[in-house]
Amino acid sequence: MFRKLALLLCTLSTVAASAQTIQIQVDLDKPLGADKPITSWFGYDESNYTTMTHGRELLRELHDTSPVPVYIRAHHLLTSGDGVPELKWSSTNVYTLDAKGHPVYNFKIIDGIFDAYQQAGVRPMVELGFMPEALASGPAPYKVSYPRTLDGSVQSPPKDYAAWGELCRTLAAHLVARYGRDQAAQWYWEVWNEPNIPYWHGTQQEYDKLYDFAVAGVRAALPEARVGGPATTSPRDPKAVAFLNAFLQHVAHDKSAANGQPIPLDFISFHAKGEPKIIDGHVRMGLDKELRDADKGFAAIATYPQFRNLPIILSEADPEGCAACSAKENPSNNYRNGTLYPAYTAAALKGLFDLQDRHQVNLLAMLSWSFEFEGKDYFQGFRTLATNGIDKPVMNVFRMASLMSGQRVATTSTGQIPLDDILSSGVQHAPDIDALATHADRSAAILLWNYQDDDLPADDAPTSVTVHGIPAAVHRVLLQHDRIDATHSNAYTAWMAMGSPQQPTPAQYAQLKAAGQLQSLTSPEWLDVSNGSVIIPVTLPRQALSLLRLSW
């Protein structure tokens, strides 16, 4: 009797545990579309950090992380000044006037920046901004320091649009001569940044004119240049999406103010941002906000038959809007140091692909506005990929994404939060335990995450991943399991375990460098395949990520 009761309890316990296990199904025979490397794009405000010690190091690391070209976008390529960076400020002093009012071009600082790109093997996304002091029309002081950097006349329209166009032509001609036409033709040339807010002190019509003269100038020097814009802010704001629509109407129906010809447009750019807050003493992210931006922007573009197939570059796609605001300034920004940031990024990645498919548009890039800040405290909470040369956990989600290739394939998960629910209310009532999977020749990759907007402790999630569609002739597959969590691929927790040193010893620094790299959870192992399928048990802590790589 007691034995039967024990067996019954054991059976009920097993059934209950099974019911609680998240079931993820991956079907390699159901392709959804190409796994485009949309995560190989990065940017930052302070272009002068490019040539500094850790900036050069990080550029090379980004190149080495990705099997495809990495693109870099930076502000202030045309700003006047001494080349010394500050928060949200840099300068190249490329354009001044002599005593007779004639233009003087000085490419020394710009050449240093673009030389660093070339030496690292990355490609520039050339942002044509901001206004040189000699051309700026605004009455305000030219430079205003952080946090009021948008108040300066560096954001004003040009006094002379023809001179602005000639600046863009001269810059493009110089870069073509220095780096070669073939290289420059592979770049993207974007006109300005966020002209619908105080990054631009002019009107919509003045921005359209700025665009016309800029692209006419670039195309005069490089007819095959890939030009675009308008790099507007979050389309979930009706005023922002109205600006984007008005720009597309201008390109579709007007003639160029610069030359009376049709207006070139090779890609469309806008920005998508979340909105983290402190709620009851903890961070709550805003994934719904970033995905609603993409949803509204994609929907607007899809209404233009002539534009809906153009590449879309989210030339800033981030959990919030201020990379230079540290956790000391905004405590909610401490999410940037730990695993919440990469888990959010993984969930956003799938959401963006799903929205692209829904609207049948062509997403080329989700550019992470994150780089590094030279000479700041370790883990100060800036939105960065690395701190003082130490990679942060978020760097490793980009490493994971770069290890995926081929076709995106169908997945289902009993722990998934449906896309429409995320768009409506984020990921607050239950975690989003989901997957993004790819299938290439003789391999597959499955990215898993256990994400919730609220950064609160929670139990680990037992998960079972079943991969279907492995070729019939294959009887064993090799599994490599990479992990980001509290103890893997996480220099932040390693640093805190040391006592949070701001002057780590050489031995501590070496330990932190190693902790910042992508790490395996287990040794590679061979798994048996049955009827074209393999089952992989995984335990996912909250805000953790796993990358399962299968090869045969």
Which residues are tagged catalytic? 194
Assess contact for 370 and 311: CB atoms under 8 A: no
Q: Is 158 helix (H, G, I), strand (E, B) or coil?
A: strand
6 Cβ partners below 8 Å, 6+ apart? none
Nearest residue to 355 via CA among 422, 445, 454, 441: 422
**Alpha-carbon distance 443 to 406, whole Å?**
9
Q: Using an 8 Å Cβ cutoff, are 135 and 163 in contact?
A: yes
Backbone φ and ψ for 47, nearest 5 degrees, come out as: -60, -25
Structure tokens given for 381: 């909470």
Task: Report whether 28 contacts 471 (CB < 8 A).
Answer: no
Cβ distance 81 to 131 under 8 Å? no
Residue with tokens 């040391």: 498
How far, in Å, CA of 200 to CA of 138, rounded?
A: 10
* Total residues belonging to the chain: 552
Q: Is residue 166 exposed (0-12), middle (13-18) or buried (19+ Cβ within 10 Å)?
A: middle
Q: Report the relative pairing of strands 311-318 and 267-273 from DSSP bridges.
A: parallel
> CA 248: distance to chain centroid?
24
Quick one: which of 347, 353, 253 has its CA closest to 298? 353
